[in-house]
Structure 1
Amino acid sequence: MSLKVGIIGCGGIANGKHLPALAEVKEVELVAFCDLIVERAEEAKMHYGTLTAKTFTDYQEMLKDVELDIVHVCTPNNSHAELSIAAMKADCHVMCEKPMAKTAEQARSMIEAAKKTGKKLTIGYQNRFRKDSMYLHEICQEEELGDIYFAKAHAIRRRAVPTWGVFLDEEAQGGGPLIDIGTHALDLTLWMMNNYKPKYVVGNTYHKLSETENAANAWGPWNPKEFTVEDSAFGYIVMENGAAIFLESSWALNSLDVKEAKTTLSGTKGGADMNDGLTINGEDHSMLFEKKIELEPGGVDFYDGAGDKPEVLEAQSWIDAILNDTDPVVKPEEALVVTEILEAIYQASQTNQPVFLNQ
């Protein structure tokens, strides 16, 4: 069976992740491409589309004109909810790029639309499909670490501010590194803990290095006048069962402790970190141990053991969920909690007060 897929937003994340990943899934036909800049839609069609694929600059026209099974939403955060809801109402399953939405209210409206239409909805947290993530999740499910009561979610860059598109635009994105890369680290951490019941949140955001002229940066200097989002954000989340999570996120920080989309876990039976590969630690017969996990087989000529990329595994898993009518790996209710926590950190920073959730 072949599923017909349409793409809304043919920019960086579509070309860097969604389109090449979907192209490797044999059950998929890429038949519609929509972008406000028609040349981008045409280029995406040329590289990935079927012979009869169509291009659009209006997503409503695409949804009316082409019979689609699935839509991937790859646009700025402020349009995620509007586009996802419209696609589900047009009888399409939806994968929306992370974060789920600019606001928690918008994210909740997406879940309501999924329930009303009966369509599947998932969010693009591809880091769950890394080898280290999948291995660690498995041992967490088997309770090898015991009760995980403290964790750290890491998303720190020393100088890697995205200077293209709308990343620096608060109105379009809703925030900076917290909502961009902090969201990945938090999703991984909550998934490992299998704990989606936050009680309260405190946090701070900073506009410090964003004011630097001619700054050193992986993608060239940023314009301080256009840098309307935070450059760093930090949050402390307390869950209903007493567990705590420290979330750190930054695009630009004077630190050599750089790590992105990683988690550190501490449980009653053991701990784990992704700091230098994946390491499990614990105590055995009154002795402490560290176990380094070898995630690649190695040692075989002409084979690097890399396996499928996380984004390809994500795409295949998503398509399989639709074909087999099963839940997607990333459930929208889980992604909603991530958005609620991120929103609470921003609010706590503005008010200098804890923000209580689920009250």
Structure 2
Amino acid sequence: MKTQRKEIGLAIVGCGTIGRIRAELARSFPGVGWIGLCDIKSDIGEKLAADVDADFYTNDYRELLKRPEVTATIIATDENFHFDPTMLAIEQGHDLFIEKPLATDARQSAQILAAIEAAGVDAVVGYTQRFRRRFLTIKEKLITGQIGDVHSVVTRAFMNRMVPIATTRRTQERATLTPMVVSGTHSLDMSMWLMEGKTPKSVFAQSCDRVLSKHGTKDSTFGVFTMTDGTIWSMNISWALPEVWPGAVYGLEIGIVGDKGVIDIEDTHRDVVLASEVAQGGGYVPEGFVAPPRHVDFLTSYPPGDLHNGQLWGPMREETNAWYQRLYSGQATPHATAADGHRNLLMTMAMDLSAKRGQPVDFPVDPDELMRELVG
């Protein structure tokens, strides 16, 4: 049977680092016939428009998303500003790629999911690590029952503190910009994807803020989930490691124990180490922030991938091109769904709520209750 192909008219709202990556890949994808861009910062947006030879540029997302050429939209704004452009894109009937999270307000996240389901649009959420070869291999082993029924999982994420400093500098609305909501969501999504079919029953978590309180966020959050089938899962993240930490961005460890075997994942990037008299850059270095020199680096720890010859190679390239193929030819892909994204947000916020209360939180959790207690 011949595959039906549908040319893509692409709108990208947000022309920062991630919007740029996905726009450059779009220009190289033969199924993308039209590209429109939007950013409130004209210098950033106009430069990207020139670099990818965009067909249209504006500072107003409404003007872009109402263009008749647009069939699909990427939402790549800062985390706090996803809601309005996402809802308009849904109203316009566009296929959607939304950078995580769906929203930083649980009530808005629920509205987005409900609107997506009511409109019947195809929407995915940016959880790039699903497209790395090692995790796809592990997923296949779990699907085919190689370790039997999973009953115990341990997840640990370590991050350089340049990430939270960069994130919190962009806004004063920081109540929900926590290590779990912003960054722990990646390792949470990965763990839940590998535990597909399991449902959380309760979580007990604790947090501390000795280092990053001056930036309006927490240092670390550790929690234990109990699933409805009795599985236990420890989910821990610290994004307060010093600026000189050799892992420029993300280091992850996951242990998955089943009744017939175990999968032990060491994804800390310590297998490729660079040591040099030349100071190393990389990672999310916020504008105006002067980090101390780093002379040792765990290479390949930048989640989107790595640069070679001016091009990004790695999971974000795979994820983005797979989405374009999904739209163009109907190819099945491992993207996170909007339902996955909403579930992830509620689980990360439930950890924050448990840490604030000092007691377990049961699922399902109510978005109104989460926002009332976490934000006020």
Q: When the two structures are superposed, what TM-score results if normalisation uses the length of structure 2?
A: 0.76
Counterparts in 2 of 1:165-184, with a 5 A limit?
166=168, 169=171, 171=173, 174-184=176-186
Residue 342 (structure 1) aligns with: 348
TM-aligned CA deviation for residue 250 of structure 1 = 1.7
What is aligned with 2:291? none
* Alpha-carbon offset, residue 89 of structure 1: 0.7
Distance 2:229 2:331 in 1: 29
TM-aligned CA deviation for residue 162 of structure 1: 4.3
RMSD: 2.7
1:332 is aligned, of 331, 335, 338, to: 338
2:6 is equivalent to residue 4 of structure 1:
no
SS at match of 1:174: coil
Distance 1:167 1:132, change over 3 A: farther
Q: Kindly indicate whether the alpha-carbon contact (under 8 Å) linking 1:202 and 1:353 is maintained by their aligned counterparts in 2.
A: yes
Paired position in structure 1 for 2:218: 230
Instruction: After TM superposition, give the deviation of residue 21 of structure 1 in Å.
Output: 3.5
1:195 matched to 2:213 = no
Query: What residue in structure 2 maps to residue 310 of structure 1?
Result: 315
The gaps in structure 2 that reach 5 residues or longer are: 1-5, 270-311, 366-376
What does residue 290 of structure 2 align with? Answer: none
Shift of 1:182: 0.7
Provide the residue aligned with 2:302 in structure 1: none
Q: Name the counterpart of 1:42.
A: 46
Shift of 1:176: 2.9
Give the structure 2 partner of residue 263 of structure 1: 254
Relative to structure 1, the CA distance from residue 170 to residue 186 in structure 2 (aligned partners, 3 Å threshold; closer, same or farther) is farther
Match of 1:137 in 2: 139
Q: CA contact under 8 A between 1:76 and 1:173: conserved in structure 2?
A: no
- Residue type at the aligned position of 2:219: D
**Deviations 1:109-164, CA, capped at 9 Å, x for gaps:** 11211122221111000100001011000101001011111112222125444433
Q: Which moved further from structure 2: 35-44 or 169-178? A: 169-178
Letter in 2 for 1:97: E
Deviating more after overlay: 136-145 vs 326-335: 326-335
Q: Deviation per CA, 1:11-70, whole angstroms, max 9, x where unpaired?
A: 12222x4233434432124521111111211111111233xx111111111112352111
Correspondent of 2:67 among 54, 65, 68: 65
Q: Indicate the larger mover: 325-334 or 245-254.
A: 325-334
Structure 1 residues 267-320: Cα deviation after superposition (integer angstroms, max 9, x where no partner): 111111221689xxxxxxxxxxxxxxxxxxxxxxxxxxxx96211221222223
Show CA shifts across 1:78-119 (max 9, x none).
222322121111121110001222133222211211122221
Partner residue, 1:220 = none
Q: Is the 8 A contact 1:36 1:58 kept in 2?
A: yes
Unaligned runs of 5+ in 1: 212-223, 279-306
Shift of 1:72: 0.5
Alignment match, 1:290: none
How far apart in 1 are the matches of 2:223 and 2:40? 35
Query: What letter matches 2:9 in structure 1?
Result: K
Question: Would you say the 8 A contact 1:73–1:96 is kept in 2?
Answer: yes
Written as runs of structure 1 = structure 2, the 5 A alignment for 1:83-98 is: 83-98=85-100
The answer to whether 1:272 aligns with 2:273 is: no
CA pair 265-182 structure 1, distance change in 2 beyond 3 A: same
The answer as to whether partners of 1:56 and 1:62 remain within 8 angstroms in 2 is yes
Q: CA deviation at 1:172?
A: 5.5
Cα offset for 1:246? Answer: 1.2
Q: What CA distance in whole angstroms lies between the structure 2 residues aligned with 1:273 and 1:39? A: 46
Give the Cα–Cα distance (whole angstroms) in 1 for the partners of residues 105 and 125 of structure 2: 14
Residue number in structure 2 paired with 1:251:
239
Of 355, 359, 362, the match for 1:353:
359
Q: Secondary structure at the match of 1:345?
A: helix
TM-score by length of 1: 0.79
2:80 maps to which of 73, 78, 81: 78
Cα drift, residue 74 of structure 1: 0.8
Please state whether the residue corresponding to 2:212 is helix, strand or coil. Answer: helix
Give the distance between the partners of 1:142 and 1:11, measured in 2 at CA. Answer: 40
Report the 3-state secondary structure (helix = DSSP H, G, I; strand = E; otherwise coil) of the residue aligned with 2:173: helix
User: Given residue 43 of structure 1, which amino acid in structure 2 is its aligned partner?
Assistant: K
Give 1:178 deviation, angstroms: 1.5
Match of 2:101 in 1: 99
Aligned length: 314
